Structure 1
Amino acid sequence: MSTMKRLYRYLILLALLIAAISAYSVGSQTGMFVFIILGFILEAGFWLGLFPVRRRRQ
């Protein structure tokens, strides 16, 4: 993997994590369940991006 691709991947993961934390924060302050669900979805994207599923070659 090239250096630029790795950098972009880390920046996207960081953005997902910050967005998830922000959504959780807004959801807990306002009591809007939609933001908590959004935070969950963004956090899932972070974890799935951190550990991508690798397929075996046959």
Structure 2
Amino acid sequence: MSGEQKTKAKGEQVKGKIKETAGRMTGDEHLEAEGRAEQTKGDARAAKEKTKDVFKH
């Protein structure tokens, strides 16, 4: 996985987890859902990069 894309994916996952936790703590369901969506986006980006690495080697 390229370093830049790996960092971006991890950043999205962390940012999403923070949003989800903040939403849960404040009772903001919209923020919680937004956080889960952002985590999923980061997971998808990481999976895409791992797949590219498999076919690269």
Q: Compute the TM-score of the two structures, normalised by the length of structure 1.
A: 0.72
Q: What stretches of structure 1 move > 6 A for 4+ residues in a row?
A: none
The Cα shift of 1:28 comes to 1.0
1:35 aligned onto 2:31 = yes
Aligned to 1:7: 3
Larger radius of gyration: 1
Post-superposition Cα deviations, 1:2-58, rounded to whole Å, max 9, x if no partner, equal xxxx1111110111011111011111110000111111210110111111277xxxx
Q: Which structure exhibits the higher relative contact order, with contacts defined as CA atoms closer than 8 Å and separated by 6 or more residues?
A: 2
Matches within 5 A, 1:19-58: 19-52=15-48
Aligned length: 50
Larger helix fraction of residues: 2
CA RMSD of aligned residues (A): 1.9
TM-score (norm 2): 0.73
Separation (CA, whole Å) in 2 of partners of 1:47 and 1:11: 12
What are structure 1's unaligned runs of at least 5 residues? none
Unaligned runs of 5+ in 2: 53-57
